[in-house]
């Protein structure tokens, strides 16, 4: 539980560091295949983060009786999508820029844990 909390709290820092480093590096040189793979993994993680408020707004409210099962099904559907996005971003980051592997993996794990703990009904 402590490791999950550390990952959740360090994920925004890692994601911001990844974007800042990528933007500074891409400005100074032409984009190669590693840069494009790194960009795609950063976009996937950022999209996973940006989808959280969307999922929270459209979440079904507890209406008694069967409302709880609707909440669980809704959260599970989002979790599957987000975990797949985080897993794909992690795998892509392994082929991307070596300096950004650790920040992207930390951002992916932190985002996945955040989704897991925040979408529990």
Comparing CA positions, the residue from 112, 121, 93 lying closest to residue 22 is 93
Decide: 73 and 28 in contact? Cβ < 8 Å: no
Decide: 120 and 113 in contact? Cβ < 8 Å: no
Domain count, the chain: 1
> How many whole angstroms separate alpha carbon 29 and alpha carbon 14?
23
For residue 63, the model assigns a pLDDT of 64
Domain that holds residue 78: 2-118
Per residue of the chain (121 residues), give pLDDT as tens.
Answer: 899 999 999 999 999 999 999 998 877 777 788 889 999 999 999 999 999 999 888 887 766 666 677 777 888 888 899 999 999 999 999 999 899 999 999 999 999 999 989 877 6
Q: Which residue has the tokens 């890692």?
A: 14
Q: Tell me the two tokens of residue 58.
A: 């459209």
For residue 72, the model assigns a pLDDT of 79
């Amino acid at each position: 539980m402590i490791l999950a909390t550390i990952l959740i709290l360090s994920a925004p820092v890692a994601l911001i560091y990844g974007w800042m480093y990528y933007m500074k590096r891409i400005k100074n040189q032409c984009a190669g295949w590693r840069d494009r793979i790194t960009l795609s993994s950063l976009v996937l993680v950022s999209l996973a983060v940006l989808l959280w408020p969307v999922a929270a707004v459209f979440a079904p409210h507890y209406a008694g009786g069967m409302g709880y099962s609707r909440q669980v099904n809704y959260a599970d559907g989002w979790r599957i999508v987000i975990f797949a996005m985080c897993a794909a971003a992690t795998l892509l980051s392994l082929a991307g820029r070596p300096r950004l592997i650790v920040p992207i993996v930390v951002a992916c794990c932190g985002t996945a844990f955040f989704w897991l703990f925040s979408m529990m009904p």
